[in-house]
Structure formats: C-alpha cells, structure tokens
Amino acid sequence: MNRSVEPNLISLVPSLNAQLPLQLVELAGSLLAQSRHRASTLKGEEELARGYACAHIACERLKTSLDLPQITPRPPIPPRIYRRLYTHLDKILPTIIPGLKTPSKARGTPSRGGTTPGTGRSNRSGRATPSRRVIQNIGERTPSKSTGRAAQFIAIETKLPPWVHPTIRSLCANEWGNQKLVPTILAGIESIVVPGGKRSLDPWITDNFAPLLAAVALLVRTRQSVIAHGGELEEVEVNLAKKEIIKGMSRARTEVEMPRMDEEEAWEGYEPVTRELIETAVSRVLEHGWHEGDWYRALDSIYNEGRGDHDFEMQEGPARPRTPEGIKERKADSMFQDEWDFLTDVKREEFKVWKDKMLVRIEELEKNGAMDVDG
C-alpha cells in the first residue's frame, strides 16, 4: 500500500522527491486503508481521488511536525469536487500518527491540524494538547531480552486497548518484515471492535480480544499470500502463519513498553494466544461475516496498486510524475525486466514463503526419521 501512496506524496511535495519521511508514508497508507472502511462508497470521480486526498490530508496534518516544504496540490478531479471530498475525509478519518505528537489548537481544543485546501490559512498554534484518537510511538528505544531494543507507545483516549497498535506493528515487522499490512489489520480490528465509531457491546469480543486480533492478522496474512502467489494455501502454510502470529504477539508482550501507563492498564484484554484460540476466533469472524468489510475486500486492490505501473494518478496541469531516485523504471529495451529482477518485494516475499515451507517440511521429516538415508 505504501508504494501506491508515495507517488501522490511526491506530487504534493515535489521538493522532497524520493526523500519521503517514514511517518508521512505510514500515515498516508493508514488513512487510505481506513477511508475504505469509513467511506466505502464514493462517486466515480471521488473514488479516483481517494488516494490523493488521503495523501494530502497526511501532508497537512504533519507539515508542521515534520517541517515539510510547500504543499502544491494538483488534484486529479475538478477542484470543487475535490474540496468536498477532502473536507469529508478529513472530518471522518481519525488522527493516528505514529511517532509524532499531534499539533492542535491552544487551550486544549483539538485541531484537525492543517489548512483548508485553497485557503492557505493554518489552524495551528503554539500549545499542543492530546487529540481525540492518537496512538504515538515515543521513538526512543530501550533494551529488551531478544533484540536489545523495544518499541515504546502511548495511546491517548483511544477506543482500542493501548497495546493493539504497537502489537500489530511489532508482529508485522519482526515476523513478516512487512509493515504494509499494519493499516489493513488495524482497520479490520477497528471495524469489528468499534463499528461506526462506537464500541461493540458483544461480550465475546470483550472476552476474546487477543484471539480476535490474531484471527484478523491471520486472515490478512493468508489473503495477502493468496493474492501474491495465486491458488489456495497449503495447510502447512496456514499453520506456519499461525505459529508466526503466536510468536509475534508473545514477543510484543515482552518487548513493547508503555512507560507512562500502568502495565496492567496498558495490557488490559491481552492474553497469550494458542492455535485453538485462533481457530475459534477465525470461525467466529467468518460466522458473523466480519470479514466481509471493505478492509478485507480492499486487499486485492491494495496489493495490485502496489504492483502496478499505474501508481501515478492523473493530475491537472503540465506537471509529470517523476521516478523517485533508486527506483528502476522498466522499459521494453531495458535489461531491468520483472522476469529477471529477483530483488523485488514480491520475489522476496515468494522466497520467504518457500523457505519457511521447506524448513517446516525438513523439520517434520527429521522428526519422523525420514532424513536418515544412510541407515
């Protein structure tokens, strides 16, 4: 997903070129994923500019914190329609900013943070107060048992437990090396736990929060693998994904720290997950149709957006998209063809899945004594 928002960000802040701040890219991707859930039905022209508007909102919300250069929007649709779309999305999308404090108005009045398109006037002022929905990564690292470093997070007035977002990020980073799945998993758990912005009263959800999160992560991970490689997954691959989730969530519980919160309060609702708990939670999700939301259906388009050559959306005016530094542009007469490029994200992901499958099979054969060929 991040690859699909980067061209829009470069178009909005061309002076950055390929030097896009990680926080900006992550926020734009998160807003895009959540917009598919919160604003699932847009008109044709509005849908065309969905990704551009989310990138624009991300730039406006972070321009002071990141000291961004001048933002020059060139929306791919008529300005009148775009302003309406921008205002609508900015109003309904929560402020989830990893790693940064959210600028807001003085005297504790929350701010949407940013300028209204076309006005150039900012609503920011000196003193910052917590926004309504902010999940923050302190950015500092402290020693941990296995890696020597642990992410630190603070959750302020969020309807999800404080440990959810950092656990998702830790799982995706440490087990899969793929942070692109974070916004989709977060949007999925949010759509089940806080549908329509209100906390669900289903007692099963409250009592099984950790298994539910694991189930959503499993559905996203396996669906992404199916889209990437085609065909159905083998049972050994699904079991491997479950094993990774169990390991990743346990690791997050050990390493993630929220120093400004009481530990018991910060990890309320967390419990160690097992394969049986995950399978029960998956059955519950499928039974209630919770996987039928836009967060899950959009995985196909999100993945295709990241792979396609049409990442650059239409723009008004003569400006042409530029290829970021370090990205090879494939042409018919170029030696850099997808068929022979084994260092792409897709090829790396395919190799990782193949390697994990082989290791699992070797381990099973060794346990069964089938590898003892000299006897």
Which of 57-66, 141-150, 289-298 shows the lowest per-residue confidence on average (mean pLDDT)? 141-150
pLDDT at 142 over 60: no
What pLDDT score was predicted for residue 248? 93
Mean pLDDT of 237-255: 92
Which domains are assigned to the chain? 2-93 (1.10.472), 161-297 (no CATH)
pLDDT, tens only, 197-232: 778 888 899 889 999 999 999 999 988 888 877 777
| Token duo for residue 368 | 């069964």
DSSP 135: E
pLDDT at 32 over 80: yes
What pLDDT score was predicted for residue 211? 95
Which of 88-102, 151-165, 269-283 shows the lowest per-residue confidence on average (mean pLDDT)? 151-165
Top-ranked range on mean pLDDT: pick from 2-16, 83-97, 275-289: 275-289
| Token duo for residue 359 | 């290791």
Contacts with 352 (C-beta within 8 Å, 6 or more apart), sequence order: 177
pLDDT at 187 over 60: yes
Q: How many residues are present in the chain?
A: 375
| Residue reference for tokens 């980067």 | 6
Which carries the bigger pLDDT value, residue 346 or residue 148?
Answer: 346
pLDDT at 314 over 70: no
Q: What is this structure's pTM?
A: 0.46
pLDDT at 122 over 60: no
Q: Helix 50-62 and helix 79-92: axis angle, to 10°?
A: 60
pLDDT, tens only, 65-83: 888 888 988 888 888 889 9
What are the phi and psi torsion angles at 155 (to 5°)?
-115, 130
